[in-house]
Structure 1
């Protein structure tokens, strides 16, 4: 079982503080499951004797299967940010599907899951409660990984070439800071805008424009968290924005506050 780097990933807002409250481990999928799954993740926390902690996440364009006591389900891409209250001691296990990787299991436009949660019964025709109890009773990450790999391995759909196509395009958008518009992604991929929009609706669950915004703002939040921003105009340019006001507008629309307000909460 190969473990990914365990630093908090982009999208975890105020990650420097969050890293003191909980741990995150990620594990690579094996075999044929890896065609559909990006990685497995485990969050653990022990806040006994401390105040509860609310962690906010700026969503990635991925569907997640999450095992959490009393809240297990399949989570579509969140609307913008989502907050998770950590209290006492506990852990959560998740399966992060590749962008497009959940569609072959679901066989419906993934946009139908946008901002919603669905059950294991609906997708996999298994009872949620017994599997949740079995998974969360396992003391070791490796045991949970093996169990879910077996679960998914028994239910693997046929490989859909669009999964690879969409996942690679989302990866290009994530890596290239100059991609700020759907036209930029279309130029990179050689795919027409209309084709891209249809594929993203069916396979990813959100529009190409939404994916582009999220990844650029992931980088912005990470740089602010790391104290690497001395000038907002420089940050805008570093992320490929030609219009400083456009960057501020995007940040506020998705994160909920301006970049300056976000930085100020670091010291609260």
Structure 2
């Protein structure tokens, strides 16, 4: 018998150790984020390129759960506060591993960043790391990708600081690095990744059993491989993307009656929906359209969930 997510039984309580920012989040008018579509050759590996800027002396924000990022910080020194109780600094040339939940950021500004948000295929092809075993960290990129990324990052930081290169061009240069350094992924694994994306995008509560047999793998093999490439096993992964998809719809200027009904049916009850979205996105539904949260609004935009397929 196939299994579905959460319904019809009551959901368990979420972890209570999710950290929260120590103070108000930075206001929208003080933050600028440019998203740059990845060139066609790197589109399978990069969801979006970006350039983030805020010149405040202290910046607080929340990074929604995501796959992973190659990120460079020419200005700003701070930390990500992970739920397990540890903190990682924003290394000048960093590799943000896949996140299993929303993660607060606190930075002494001005804070500028540029980089590439990776797809599941991009994470695997660029890093070769097991996403589940390396989730929820901000690492020095050279520790995984070698000295070349540190050298590139240092050159881009120097050029960005002296104004000889724009943030957009820096982000495109990071994209070029990704394209030049990805390695082949096993074809059957690619088939499984694509099928998992379609599975996640087909329903708010996809049936776990529908993944069994994909690409010729048993249910147990599918569990292991999904965690390897997406950072979470299928049940937890479906919870994460249900929250992200619901948040993307709820943050839209207008919500159709059909979408509203679908979201309502996707969760056990409204308190459950609020907890889930807060856990994976970092805001309650009432704050998803808050004008003080532009970074969040961009990161949960449907165009940044391309890994879900059509």
Unpaired segments ≥5 residues, structure 2:
1-26, 75-89, 293-310
TM-score, length-scaled by structure 2: 0.62
TM-score, length-scaled by structure 1: 0.70
Q: 48, 57, 61: which is aligned to 1:39?
A: 48
CA distance in 1, matches of 2:195, 2:214: 9
Deviations 1:67-125 (A, max 9, x none): 11452211111231122346654421122221132223433422221111333322222
Q: 11, 18, 37: which is aligned to 1:27?
A: 37
Alignment check: 8 A CA contact 1:64 1:75 kept:
yes
Report how far residue 205 of structure 1 moved: 1.9
CA 1:178–1:83: 2 relative to 1, 3 Å: closer
> Is 213-222 or 181-190 further displaced after alignment?
181-190
1:161 aligns with 2:187: yes
Unpaired segments ≥5 residues, structure 1:
1-16
Q: 107, 112, 116: which is aligned to 2:133?
A: 112
Higher relative contact order (CA 8 A, sep 6+): 2
Corresponding residue for 1:64? 69
CA 1:230–1:109: 2 relative to 1, 3 Å: closer
CA 1:91–1:178: 2 relative to 1, 3 Å: same
Alignment check: 8 A CA contact 1:100 1:166 kept:
no
Report how far residue 56 of structure 1 moved: 1.6
CA 1:91–1:100: 2 relative to 1, 3 Å: same
Residue correspondences, number: 245
CA RMSD of aligned residues (A): 3.9
